[in-house]
Chain A
Amino acid sequence: MKNIKKILAGATAVATLMAMAACGSSNESGDASDSQNLTIAWWGNQDRNEKQDAIDKAFEAANEGVSIDGQPSEWSDYWQKLSTSAAGDSMPDVIAMDYSYFNEYVENGLIIPLDEYIEDGTIDTTNIDESILASGQKDGSQYLISSGSSSPAMIYNKTLLDEAGIEMPEEMDLDEFKALAKEVYEKTGVKTNFRYYEASELLEYVMRGEGKTLFEDEGLGVTAEDVEPYFDVYEEGINEGWHISPEVFAEITAGSVDQDPVVYGSDPSSMSWVSFKFTSQMPAMQALTDDDLALAPWPAADVTAANYIKPGQFWAISKSCENPQLAAEFINYYTNNEDAVTTMGTDRGLPVSSAMMTVLEEQLSADEQEIATFLNDVVTPNSSAINPPSPAAASTVNSQTLPEIEENILYGAITAKDAAATFVEEANGAY
């Protein structure tokens, strides 16, 4: 019996040691290793994944002995995978980062500063605009390199509107938008999707149009009265019949480009003429439909105050990365190599390097040309600086508070007035 106890005690000790060793190992081997393997994680759709794979292969070909493991996910799965791998200290080496998660990841020390790689020239930033670089900085250090610029945009079905003889105004406010949506529904039977069950950018945008900031550091910068007009759109839309019924969304993944009601659905009543997206998502959506899609700014009281250029996505190097030098080379390749830039096209937005933009401009497809024109001629002259990155509380608001309140309005469970009050209370509670 004694022996068994000894063995058990030994086994426990071994197991504990192993567990501790497993936790410790990746911390120690920080920079010395010359691993030639890079794992690269991003979110995207089929279209983007294929383009990214092609770039990864070209980078492998250009650097002997390097092998790249690409790990694409859908947007919502991406953040779950990334946070769990962060907890296990086994993050991919190069990760796609979004503006809304930037603060959380920097504050927890999960991504490393890129300053030394920029200083020694590994990452060439000479052709990148100051304001674009600034959006990836925090506390004086550069953490992120933007992988493309985009802006909020309504991606709408131009063919449908043309056939119905409806003119799309250059800019509109919420009331004009509601009138337009109603007109489209009456003439074509096609409904509207007012960015239902997605993150809060549209609400933030509408608030910017009123000169207000949705997320401030210590709480919301808006009152129930401020946000009520936003929720009114849902209430009026569902009462007057022109907003898509929430039942349709039970069958699709909200936010997915591939299943967006503009390009997906079998019946006008389950389809939308417009989707509130970003310019970078246009080519992927256009690829899914024969109708001609076009871009317009989101509605707001003051579109110039509301609109902004957004660094579409960023690249960052995680603290688990064993060979940051190689990772930095990859980011530079993505940003400053002609082949890489032309392969990706405008999928993540327009290239951030002005030199690369010149190269790309010559070979843009018609869709991509449309995006470039929209960004350069419509948005840039009529926009304001982007809000600072959102506080951590925004992730609860984006994934739960706002979508569920919108759902409650569409199911007729609460009025827009109550929705506005509930939203402000719950969103402040998330801080």
Chain B
Amino acid sequence: MSQASAVPGRRLGEAGVQFKKQGRFARFMTLERTSGVVCALPFIIGFLVFLLVPILLSFYYTLTDYSIIGEAKFIGIQNYLDMFSDDKFFKSLGVTFFYALVSTPLRLVFALFVAMLLLKNSKVSGFYRAAYYLPSILGGSVAVAILWKQMFAADGVVNQVLGMFGLETDFAWLGNESTAIWTLIILGVWQFGSSMLIFLASLKQIPTELYEAASVDGASKARQFWKITLPLLTPTIFFNLVMQSINGFLAFTQCYIITQGKPRNSTLFYMVYMYDESFTRHHAGYGAALAWVMLLIVGLYTGFLFLTKRFWVYDEEA
């Protein structure tokens, strides 16, 4: 595009000059903003048809008794009222909060730790970065979930490794109420790759002068970490914390494949409960209501995190 045109948006393309006399349609089609909208159209249609319409429909279903295979009957806010007397709703909410609030900080600490190790540039660091990122790509997959189930079985790899250290055991990690949730948390922590990459990128952003100045002043490595690295990383930590906790609240595959909420609903994730209600027990209206309550919870939680932001997140402009 030439810089000659004075009115942005009204500017004609090369082809537009030729069609100048051929009417308003041709002119309209060559407007820059027309092409912009046309290019965005697939997304806009996709958003409207595949997201907005289902979202609005699902809200309507929260107000109905809908069995999926039958007609939806309007029942007002009864589904929301039913939740108050639903023990399993509170149980699954508790489990999900525990999972999200335990696995997220652990994962971030781990991700930061590995990112610090991989910060040094050497010939193999590229390989290691890729290798450590791999679990995040695989972690949500069904295959890894099945593998995990086998590993923590009574005669699985975990017990065999413990056996090599002299701890002979056939402990059923997945069958015990106090340990089953931890196998899922460990799987969650293992998927630290994407947070690690983000940490890595922002660690590289920290100006080296700060460290040079600090070491001239005689600050130890540990002190440099606490006084320079960590404060400058807080915006990244904040971002990771928000994104990963939302992921935690919405976790599904691990529970669905590995434990299915067993034993005694001690690993019943909210999303799996919602899925079971909707598709196994045909209470799709109630399931939709559960989904909207989760939306509200995630919204409130994220809002709360943003409120705390000014107390601990370093803001360069301030």
Contact = CB atoms under 8 A, between A and B. Distances in A.
B265 to A, nearest CB: 7
B68 A246 contact: no
Interface in A89-103: none
A8 B40 CA distance: 11
B183 to A, nearest CB: 10
Contacts of A248: 154, 172, 175
Contacts of B69: 83, 86-87, 104-105, 108, 110
Contacts of B30: none
A250 interface: yes
Given A104-B69, A404-B265, A411-B264, A15 B45 contact: yes
A307 interface: no
B264 A19 contact: no
Contacts of B48: 11-12, 15-16
B135 to A, nearest CB: 22
A50 B247 CA distance: 40
Contact of B68 (A11, A86, A249): A86
Contacts of A15: 45, 48-49, 53
Contacts of B281: 395-396, 399-400
Given A11-B44, A15-B49, A266-B155, A251 B149 contact: yes
Interface string A15-30: 1101100000000000
A287 interface: no
Contacts of B280: 76, 79-80, 395, 399-400
Contacts of A107: 70
Contact of B264 (A110, A270, A395, A407): A407
Contacts of A132: none
B153 interface: yes
Contacts of A233: none
Contacts of B112: none
Given A4-B33, A105-B69, A270-B154, A250 B262 contact: yes
B154 A251 contact: yes
B18 interface: no
A84 B31 CA distance: 44
Given A15-B45, A108-B70, A7 B37 contact: yes
B279 A83 contact: yes
A11 B175 contact: no
B67 A392 contact: yes
Interface in B130-183: 149, 153-155, 170, 172, 174-177, 180
Between A4, A15, A76, the greatest number of chain B beta carbons within 10 A of the residue's beta carbon is seen for A15
A163 interface: no
A251 B28 CA distance: 64
A46 B175 CA distance: 27
B172 A84 contact: no
A275 interface: no
A192 interface: no
Greatest chain A CB density within 10 A among B34, B172, B180, B265 is at B172
Nearest to A265: B155
Interface string B19-30: 000000000100
A413 interface: yes
A264 B264 CA distance: 23
Contacts of B265: 404
B37 A4 contact: yes
A166 interface: no
B279 A251 contact: no
Contact of B175 (A3, A84, A250, A392): A250
B172 to A, nearest CB: 4
B175 A247 contact: yes
A408 interface: yes
A411 B178 CA distance: 12
Contact of B282 (A4, A83, A250, A407): A83
A13 B69 CA distance: 28
Contacts of A399: 276, 280-281
Contacts of B153: 251
Contacts of B34: 3
A263 B237 CA distance: 50
Interface string A393-424: 00110011000100110010100000000000
**Nearest 9 A/B pairs, CB to CB:** A247-B175, A247-B172, A250-B175, A250-B174, A15-B48, A80-B279, A86-B69, A108-B70, A15-B49
Given A104-B70, A110-B69, 15 more contacts: A4-B37, A14-B45, A15-B53, A79-B280, A84-B68, A86-B69, A104-B69, A107-B70, A248-B172, A250-B174, A250-B259, A251-B149, A251-B153, A267-B170, A413-B264
6 contacts: A7-B41, A12-B48, A86-B68, A249-B175, A251-B153, A411-B177
